Structure 1
């Protein structure tokens, strides 16, 4: 999930024009005597050079004798490089990790427990990023920035259907989709929603109070077949049957093309897609807009992607690493990142975001994350949830039948010895 949230952004130009402010002291003095290098590994297309220069200048002014050395990694192949580095005697001090990456490295002992440390805006961190950085109720990854899905629509196609105002509820979303289909006919989808699109479908079960699974001690119990979860998945199934002509066995890989080609009036996509679709199709640049995915009452809970900042357990510069992360994740630099289009890590910073980033922030007010089990990747790799959704979308199983089968699979995988 996380790489796709960051790879396609081009934020350097957006923030290169942000003026570098005067430096101010942060944290305490370096604990080590003599020159020290703080090694920071960040991922491609996260913090732009202008922001890194500023944060490092401020940090180094507050820590005489310390030099920050930043290395930028590609998302592809990151696991191999992280595992090798964390197992060595000289790991990097600070590592940016995708929020779906943190759990495994925390469980393996490769990361420092940051639970006792204090961070600015900690009480208002985006819930999905907080959960992504936590393992067994301990903090290992500090929320860095986020990204979520929104409804992206074409204003020209909406105008032909007589639509002007974005819907605020799920019922209104269905009505808008039905009007779009009536206006354009044929195989046109009011909202193009492939059957295997799990990260857009699962919010429906959270919208009605459901969850994928819950933990009691060392035991996980899948909860897809609870009344709350079934109610949400029923809402999803009824919506896509009414307004989508997408295949039940397809995923989200071609959403941008379907919208650009005029085969749908709406998609649920990651916010950066607004810019990428407009860039690839200049004639549509002024015709694209977005709004939070509406739920039964207000915005629907979204799966929150993004990144967290971690400290290597074997880092010899623990306090310096903490000070650098504290600075980067505080109000000052989160504001600069927000001005470049990234979603800041705290709801308290909603006032500094505009445009598509403001829409993301509104949506992120209700967010969720996958079960924090070190075996969750087994569920993901087995495609349990996508198979469940496809069987419902295709009419091969009822919601009750599909969720019961998925619960059995999840229980076996999460509780395997």
Structure 2
């Protein structure tokens, strides 16, 4: 997932507080913890847990709850925490993995997992020892599995939804949110005509590949496919071309901002009041309504309406489920204790805490309860149809090279045709997908 987006969850005005619950109460009759004995055993060990600043700033009570739970089972155990900003974490992790001082638990962005799993940097885990593992969300489950083995535990997720201003829609004669692609484009046509050529009926930065590639999956395509054990770019297939063409047409029609931008400041741009709709993680629109960013005189706060983004296929647009996973480095000397701590930090009650903070849970069972909540129905429904990046050994190189972003920008700006841009992206991927980073 784009880590800037997740890190910015802390500014979301939709975040609400909820007291952390005890982390040793389990669901579905499982053991009281991931591999602990029934009686407390005194230990003088220390486990080191690396988390990003999201946990430090937004749910420190959950961290304490997990610490308290494992210490209660292992008196004398010490839990040491280190917190990192997303841009700094992997460089520090790469450096420490070359030594004998690896942390016992490390938080990873879900798209960051693949190269580390491929290199054997993380220990294999027994999924059955973790709450709700049989119900992990598909997009998250894929991120912790490699060659049929489990190397991590999903932590939390975020999905993308559509949000528009009902006041602008109403001024154009639109009084209900769209349920189909035809309705959406028809409504956006009315808004564009009413607001004028310089207005963004839909502000959609071209380099936001999480949105652009959703159209590929909506059309039945994929970024890459595995053929006989070898990964190969698949963006030149008819289905992928169809999806990219639908995306190009929408951006060309409704996006009149800078076509070379990424999505990092989309919520700030939306707050300027020159756009009707965005397709983004659920925190972005409420953040735009924060007084620090709202330049509309307060209109955003009372006029934002969320809806599930329809796709050209006639179904909901598949979403990229961004989020975080927790892994145990292979060099950890405390694999069992690390696994216990992870379970205490991600179990059913922990997920309830994270849901209260504006996140999606890591499993379908609790997602269903979130879907029943009117305040969260849209996000939970959107998350039901998701996709994930190719779990190829060299996927990290594709992300580092920004291959997807370059392709989409070239298409949006007219620098390349859809076919030529897709061909170039496939060629670039084919050079690295099967090469371990």
| TM-score (ref. length: structure 2) | 0.86
1:356: Cα distance to partner?
A: 6.2
Alignment of 1:95-134 (within 5 A): 95-115=106-126, 117-134=128-145
Alignment CA distance shift 1:115-1:172 (3 Å): farther
Alignment CA distance shift 1:58-1:32 (3 Å): closer
Instruction: Name 1:265's counterpart in structure 2.
Output: 276
Counterpart-to-counterpart distance in 2, 1:108 and 1:32: 34
Instruction: Name 1:155's counterpart in structure 2.
Output: 166
Alignment CA distance shift 1:52-1:114 (3 Å): same
Mark the runs of 5 or more structure 2 residues left unpaired by the alignment. 26-31
Cα shift readout 1:279-310 (whole Å, capped 9, x = no counterpart)? 12271222223222211233211112110011
Instruction: Name 1:286's counterpart in structure 2.
Output: 302
From 35, 40, 55, the equivalent of 2:44 is 35
Cα shift readout 1:84-137 (whole Å, capped 9, x = no counterpart)? 333332322111111122222222322101156432222221222222222223
Counterpart-to-counterpart distance in 2, 1:34 and 1:254: 48
* Maintained 8 Å contact 1:379/1:414: yes
Q: Which moved more, 1:93-102 or 1:117-126?
A: 117-126
1:396: Cα distance to partner?
A: 4.4
Instruction: Name 2:406's counterpart in structure 1.
Output: 387
Q: Does 1:3 align with 2:3?
A: yes
Counterpart-to-counterpart distance in 1, 2:405 and 2:435: 21
Q: Does 1:141 align with 2:158?
A: no
Counterpart-to-counterpart distance in 2, 1:204 and 1:348: 27
Alignment of 1:12-411 (within 5 A): 17-18=18-19, 20-21=21-22, 24=25, 25-27=32-34, 28-29=36-37, 34-46=43-55, 48-115=59-126, 117-279=128-290, 280=292, 281=294, 283=298, 284-295=300-311, 296-353=313-370, 354=373, 357-411=376-430
Instruction: Name 2:29's counterpart in structure 1.
Output: none
1:166: Cα distance to partner?
A: 1.8
Alignment CA distance shift 1:15-1:192 (3 Å): closer
* Maintained 8 Å contact 1:31/1:319: no
Cα shift readout 1:198-236 (whole Å, capped 9, x = no counterpart)? 221110010011001112344222111112112212221
* Maintained 8 Å contact 1:343/1:357: no
Alignment size in residue pairs: 417
Counterpart-to-counterpart distance in 1, 2:87 and 2:333: 27
* 1:35 alignment partner, SS class: coil
1:145: Cα distance to partner?
A: 0.5
Mark the runs of 5 or more structure 1 residues left unpaired by the alignment. none
Cα shift readout 1:320-340 (whole Å, capped 9, x = no counterpart)? 111221222221110111011
The RMSD of aligned alpha carbons is 2.7
Alignment CA distance shift 1:391-1:9 (3 Å): closer
Counterpart-to-counterpart distance in 1, 2:341 and 2:331: 17
Alignment CA distance shift 1:12-1:176 (3 Å): closer
Q: Does 1:413 align with 2:414?
A: no
1:311: Cα distance to partner?
A: 0.8
| TM-score (ref. length: structure 1) | 0.90
1:159: Cα distance to partner?
A: 2.0
Alignment CA distance shift 1:55-1:377 (3 Å): closer
* 1:76 alignment partner, SS class: helix
Alignment CA distance shift 1:71-1:197 (3 Å): closer
* Maintained 8 Å contact 2:20/2:65: no
* Maintained 8 Å contact 2:166/2:303: yes
